[in-house]
Amino acid sequence: MAGSAGGNRGVIHSQLLAGQKALVTGANSGIGKATAIALGRAGADVVVNYVVGADEAEKVVTEIEAFGVRSYAHEADVSDEEQVVQMVSRMVDELGTIDIMVANAGLQRDAPVTEMTLAQWHKVIDVNLTGQFLCARAAAKEFLRRGVVPEVSRAAGKIICMSSVHQIIPWSGHVNYASSKGGVGMMMQTLAQELAPRKIRVNAVAPGAIRTPINKDAWDTPEAEADLLRLIPYSRVGDPEDIANAVVAVASDLLDYVVGTTLYVDGGMTLFPGFATGG
């Protein structure tokens, strides 16, 4: 069975996304990988984007194909305009169209502000924010060209931006990352407002602390995990499948009336847990 840790796999109705075509950026590891697999399990054909890690991407493709849907890996840097345009145009050529864009690719380059280089700032903004803009724009153009196909979905298309609890929680030592995710929140709302009249739904999913390579230091020793759990009222670190299931739900017509919303999937991290015993 596909997926890694977590007892919450496969709970989404099977075939919820039958006949839909999805693209997930950064889908060779972590949240993107789990999301690509969950979309395939729900019946969608899935393009697995990656920038480095071709072998991992091919393994994800194989897992997805086992569900009887189509999949292929596509190397592209989401911060490169031409590569993003080309990625979506190949998808239209090979799969016919795109119905679901999951703008997931993201990274961290952490440093205290006085030590943060301009290159670190640009890298994170370019991938996490500009990359999502380029992916959303390319998908929106195809959604508008095609319009609504009622047998496939009530919407002309769905854009799901992978945000973070740091869309609203300031984060010392990570000003580039927190700024990128704050930007993702406003970009998502603005695009949702602009595109909703054209039947395109734009939303964000905002993970808290999820067990992935990006934050390994925060959970891979018992001491680190205990420290992290102080920030999570629900007392467990999230699994990539927690986020993947949320993306499948938001992408599906079950949530057709959800437009311009950020769904926090964080075990309560955004509930100001420091105030649970005082304030």
What positions carry a catalytic annotation? 177
Give 43 or 106: the residue with its C-beta nearer to ligand BGC: 106
Binding mask 216-255 for ligand BGC (x = CB under 6 A): --x-------------------------------------
The one among 20, 25, 130, 164 contacting ligand BGC by CB under 6 A: 164
What is the pairing mode between strands 100-103 and 157-162? Answer: parallel
Give 218 or 259: the residue with its C-beta nearer to ligand BGC: 218
**Half-sphere exposure for 6 (CA within 13 Å, toward CB):** 23
Give 33 or 166: the residue with its C-beta nearer to ligand BGC: 166
Query: Which positions from 203 through 222 interact with ligand BGC, judged by CB under 6 A?
Result: 208-209, 214-215, 218
| Contact status: 166 vs ligand BGC (CB under 6 A) | yes
| Contact status: 125 vs ligand BGC (CB under 6 A) | no
Binding mask 58-87 for ligand BGC (x = CB under 6 A): ------------------------------
- Spatial separation of the C-alpha atoms in residues 7 and 246, rounded to whole Å: 15
The one among 23, 165, 175, 246 contacting ligand BGC by CB under 6 A: 165
Give 25 or 164: the residue with its C-beta nearer to ligand BGC: 164
| Contact status: 183 vs ligand BGC (CB under 6 A) | no
Binding mask 93-122 for ligand BGC (x = CB under 6 A): ---------------x--------------
Do 262 and 167 meet the contact criterion of CB atoms below 8 Å apart? Answer: yes
| Contact status: 135 vs ligand BGC (CB under 6 A) | no
Judged by CB under 6 A, how many residues of this single chain contact ligand BGC? 9
Give 125 or 259: the residue with its C-beta nearer to ligand BGC: 125
| 266, two tokens | 């964080």
| Contact status: 201 vs ligand BGC (CB under 6 A) | no
DSSP-assigned states of every residue in the chain: ----S-S-TT-SPTTTTTT-EEEETTTTSHHHHHHHHHHHHTT-EEEEEESS-HHHHHHHHHHHHTTT--EEEEE--TT-HHHHHHHHHHHHHHHS--SEEEE---------GGG--HHHHHHHIIIIIIHHHHHHHHHHHHHHHH---TTT-SSSEEEEEE--GGGTS--TT-HHHHHHHHHHHHHHHHHHHHHGGGTEEEEEEEE-SBSSGGGGGGTSSHHHHHHHHTT-TT-S-B-HHHHHHHHHHHHSGGGTT--S-EEEESTTGGG-GGGTT--
Give 79 or 164: the residue with its C-beta nearer to ligand BGC: 164
| Contact status: 259 vs ligand BGC (CB under 6 A) | no
Do 22 and 72 meet the contact criterion of CB atoms below 8 Å apart? Answer: no
| Contact status: 162 vs ligand BGC (CB under 6 A) | no
Least distance between ligand BGC and beta carbon 158 (Å): 22
Strand partners, 265: 207
Binding site for ligand BGC (CB under 6 A): 108, 164-166, 208-209, 214-215, 218
